[in-house]
Every structure is written in structure tokens, then in C-alpha cells.
Structure 1
Amino acid sequence: MDIKPLRYFAEVARQHSFTRAAETLHVAQPAVSMAIRKLEAELELTLFHRQDRKVSLTDEGARLFQHAGRILQAVDNARLEMDELRGLSRGEVRVGIPGMLGSYYFPPILMAFRHRHPNLSLKVVEAGTGSLQQMVETGELDLGVIVAEQVPEALESRVFLREQMMVTVSRDHAFARQAQVRYEDFFREELVMFQQGYFHRRVVDRLAHRSGLTPNIGFETNLLPLIKSIVKQGFGISTLLAMVLRDDPDLVAVPFDEPVWLDLSIAWRRNGYLSRANSAFVDFVLKQTHQV
């Protein structure tokens, strides 16, 4: 089986469109259509339903799509490794970072890494840890920051940061004068939370489940500055990493009566090829952590 038609097939399956797939692949649409027809003829199977410009996978196409991702990733890994052996690596690091860490922990690390390795390019994606984990597993990202306790078998990881989640309130909130906050008291308040898929939200959902309580969520947003603004104005409280609050005099951080610690890891595919550029980035992150 030729790899190019398989790559075209996978892109059409992702885009649900021959036109959008051609645009993404930077080829003419007839070339994509012809490649798919040849692939279907070779396999003697129909891979797509084509109705009223709507494209969807047949059952046979869905089965092939499961294999296609693994095959294409293996080919890309082999090509990258061979390029590096010839000294032709493009030196790209594709890393996914959650919003809180992307705003408060990684900027100096990213800049320092770029200064040390000026020939390497960095592609940074912001998303929740759940999404980042999936993107690393499927090969969309080379590296991703996830919560250590949730690392699946398909990934390998190294813990680089242990940080405490703190109850976050305005300076005039009653909790600001307390040494600690009970879970029961926290969940009675109106909460400002990240949406599902972010470790911030997973922590709160896990604590609520463990305590047998229902979170009173008044605001949901993935915009960290908005969360902080809402809390400052007294319209709710939240829980954020301690690092987010160190240089903000208008917010008060109070620990839970049972402290909540998060171990954060940098992860990559266990059976994938970790390029020299990505290995250098992992090593740099771990060394920076040990220097803190």
C-alpha cells in the first residue's frame, strides 16, 4: 500500500471534506479524489459515504482509519530518525501546556531554551491536560504537560513540578482571615472554575466527589485573567496554583485543611521516537526544575 493515498485518506477522514483536506495537504482536490478512488480500488472497499457534499467514513473506512494513524506516525518517526542520523533534523519541538503553567511557569523556560538552542523551533499549544494527553497519544504533539496521577500506559513521563492548589479569594472575603479552609465551606461558596478537561476543574470535581458535595459553579471560563478578575471583585472564589498568586496583592491564597498537591509531568508516546530536539527540551525542563 502506497503511503501517500493513505495520508490523503486520513486527512479527508479528519476534515470530513475532500476540499478542506486538499487545502490542508496543499494539493489540488482532484489529486485527493483520484488517490482515494485508487485506494478504494486497491482494497476493493468503499471507504467514504459521499452524499450531498457530506463525507463520512463507512464501517470499513473507520477500521482503516484506526490503522492509518499508527502507520503514518511510524513512517514519520522513521523519517525523522533517519533525517537526524544524516544531520538533517528540522529541530522542531511541539509541546502542549495548560493555561496556568503557560502563563506563570513556562515563559522563562521557553525563552531560556530558545536562547540556548536558537536553531530549534518551538510550537506551543495551550489546552486542558485531558486534550493534551490525547494529542500526544495521537501524535499531534510530541510532548505534553499532564497530571502525573493520570498517565496512561501509552505514555512515558517525568515529574517536573509539585505545586499546591490554594483556595483563592479577594482580600475582603471571610476566608482571607483564616489559616485554612474546609472542603465543606469551600463548596458552599459560588465558584469560578475552568471548564471540563483542565486539571484545575478535575481537582475540584475530585474533591467534591470525595466529600459527597456538589460544587456551586457560578462561572465557567478558561480565561485565567477573567477568573482572577471575577474573584477580585467578590463575585466568586476559586482554587489556583500557588504560583499564580504570588505576585498578585489583590488576591489571597489559603490552603485547604487537607492540602491538595499536584504532581505535573511532561509526557511523550512510550513507543514513539523522541527526537533530539524533544529530548533536549525534556532534559532542559527537568534541569530547570532541579535548579528552582
Structure 2
Amino acid sequence: MEIRVLRYFLEIARSGNMSRAAKTLHVTQPTLSKQMKDLEQELGKKLFHRGSTSVSLTEEGMLLRKRAEDILDMADKTIDEFKALDNIAGGEVHVGCAESYQIKYLAQVIKEFKVKYPLFHYHLTSGNTEQVVERLDRGLLDFAVIVEPPDLSKYNYLQLPAADTWGLIMKKEDVLSQKESICVEDLFGLDLICSIQAMQVDIPRWCGEKADMLNISGTINLAYNGSVFVKEGLGYMLTFDKLTDTSPDSDLCFRPLEPPLKTEMYVIWKKYQVFTPIADLLLNELKLGLSQ
């Protein structure tokens, strides 16, 4: 299975049309069709439903699409790493980030770093802790920024200098907005929205066995999307402060939990990881910048 053929396959999957994909790839349609038939023969599975004017993926094709995207991400990252070996003035670094206002500390370090290395390029991937750690473990990321204590048997880490404050996002006209803080009893009977991690780890850490009395009506992995649901009247969201717009012009407000619930944030990387020169330099910059 060749990298080039996987690129052809993904372009067809994205465009849904063999002729259009051939034009984009600058190959003839018969050549492209033959490459796909050879790929299907190699795998022993049918990858496409072929119509008169379009193609769509079979279940096996959808599985290959996911695998091909991972393989090509890794291939492209490897190429970038080898290019960077001869280019200490720049290079590529991939970072996965959980949601937090503390990402500003990473941004501040990178801003100073780009002054020293103007050819440096960064690629940020957003997701919850589970998602970014998975990409780190698969070698698709150099660093991950997570909101739970790291597994010290697998990762080295730096702790960010602040902590995130948990609270409740609600509409400003809601009766609970009159309170300065929210206790667990205030949440009884409410439709609550939160992340799976919060539901399993953070909220039980805050209220213990009373967490079983809460009605989690929906889960999210990005706070912005949750805030849209709150605006539409689908409930209340448990999340960090400063992740959603609660400015005077917003329809939403934030009230902290009582007793206070805080979460630390960490930059992690795999133990014994061999970095490219530019990633190694960035790590040194992070160690200096985050310790101040």
C-alpha cells in the first residue's frame, strides 16, 4: 500500500467524484480508477459504491479513510521532522490543547519564540484531554496541554502557573443568576451539560456522592457548543470560567461553584521522546517561560 495511492483514495473520498479527483490530482481518470481497483484487490474489500456521476464509501472504505488520514498525518509529520534537522531557524511543532484560558501562557511563550525563530510554524489541535493524549500517544503530536494530572509513568510535564475555576453557565434572567456562587443543592432538578471528564472526575471530586443526584442531560467536549445549547434553553453548563462569552453584551453569565473547585493544567510530552531540533528548543523555552 503506497502513500501516493492513499492520497489518491482520500481525494476521491473528499470529492465524491472520480473525474473531479483526477483533475485535482493531475492524473487521468482511467489511471485513477485503475489505482483504486488495484487497492481494492490488494485489501480484498470493496471501498466504493460507484454511481453514474458520483462515488461514496462503503463501510470498509470509511475504515480505510480513518486509517489513511492517520497514516498520512504521520508521514507528513515525519517529512517535516527530517526537513527541520537542517533548518534550525525554523520547523514544525504540533501541539494538542484542551480548552482553558491558560492556553494564553503557551501563546505568550510561542510569541517570544517566533521572534528568535521566525521560520518556526506551530499547529494546534483542540479537543478534550482524552483526545489530545491519544494523538500524543500515536506520535501525531509533540506536546499536549491537558487539564488533569499526567501519568508520570508515561509522560514528563510542566505545570501552568494558574488554575481554572469551575462554575455554572446560565441565562442572565435565570433566578440562579442572583446568587454569588452555586452549591450542589442548587443543581438538583436542573438539566446539566458538562464534559464526560467533568461528569466522571471533577464533579464527584467537588460534591462526592451527591454527584449521583445530578441530572446530566447532555455531554460536550467544547464549551462553545455547550454555551449555544444553554442560550437555546436546553439547560445549564458546568465548565471553566473564561471559556464562554459572559460579557455585558452576552445573554449568559457565570457563577463559581461553592466550595470552590479548581483544576490545574499541564504541558506533557512522552518520556524518552526524541524531539526535532526546533521542538527541543521550544521545550527549553517552555521550561523558562512557565517557571517565571
Do both share a fold (TM > 0.5)? Answer: yes
Aligned-residue offset at 1:288: 2.0
Q: Give the 3 Å change call, closer, same or farther, for CA 97–70 of structure 1 in structure 2.
A: closer
| Counterpart mapping for 1:1-292 below 5 A | 1-9=1-9, 11=10, 15=14, 17=16, 19=18, 22=21, 26-28=25-27, 30=29, 31-41=31-41, 43=42, 45-52=44-51, 53-57=54-58, 72=72, 75-76=75-76, 78-87=78-87, 91-101=91-101, 104-137=104-137, 141-149=141-149, 156-161=155-160, 163-167=163-167, 173=177, 175-176=179-180, 182=183, 184-188=184-188, 190=190, 193=193, 196=195, 206=204, 210=209, 211-215=211-215, 222-223=223-224, 238-241=238-241, 254=256, 256-257=258-259, 259-268=260-269, 274-291=275-292
Q: Give the 3 Å change call, closer, same or farther, for CA 166–70 of structure 1 in structure 2.
A: closer
Q: Give the 3 Å change call, closer, same or farther, for CA 83–35 of structure 1 in structure 2.
A: same
TM-score by length of 1: 0.62
TM-score by length of 2: 0.62
* CA-to-aligned-CA distance 1:56-102 (integer Å, 9 cap, x gap): 3565x688778766765665455344333444886122323234337
C-alpha distance in 1, partners of 2:104/2:198?
A: 14
Residues 191 and 217, structure 1, Cα contact 8 Å, conserved in 2? yes
Q: Give the 3 Å change call, closer, same or farther, for CA 14–151 of structure 1 in structure 2.
A: farther
RMSD, aligned α-carbons = 5.1
Unaligned runs of at least 5 residues, structure 2: none
Residues 164 and 264, structure 2, Cα contact 8 Å, conserved in 1? no
* Secondary structure of the structure 1 residue equivalent to 2:93: strand
Q: Give the 3 Å change call, closer, same or farther, for CA 175–144 of structure 1 in structure 2.
A: same
**Residue identity opposite 2:290 in structure 1:** T
C-alpha distance in 2, partners of 1:159/1:75?
A: 28
* Secondary structure of the structure 2 residue equivalent to 1:100: coil
* Secondary structure of the structure 2 residue equivalent to 1:223: helix
C-alpha distance in 1, partners of 2:100/2:146?
A: 12
* Secondary structure of the structure 1 residue equivalent to 2:101: helix
C-alpha distance in 2, partners of 1:54/1:272?
A: 42
Q: Give the 3 Å change call, closer, same or farther, for CA 218–49 of structure 1 in structure 2.
A: closer
* Secondary structure of the structure 1 residue equivalent to 2:119: coil
Residues 147 and 263, structure 1, Cα contact 8 Å, conserved in 2? yes
Unaligned runs of at least 5 residues, structure 1: none
* CA-to-aligned-CA distance 1:228-272 (integer Å, 9 cap, x gap): x97xxxx9674424x779xx8997764543x53423233456797
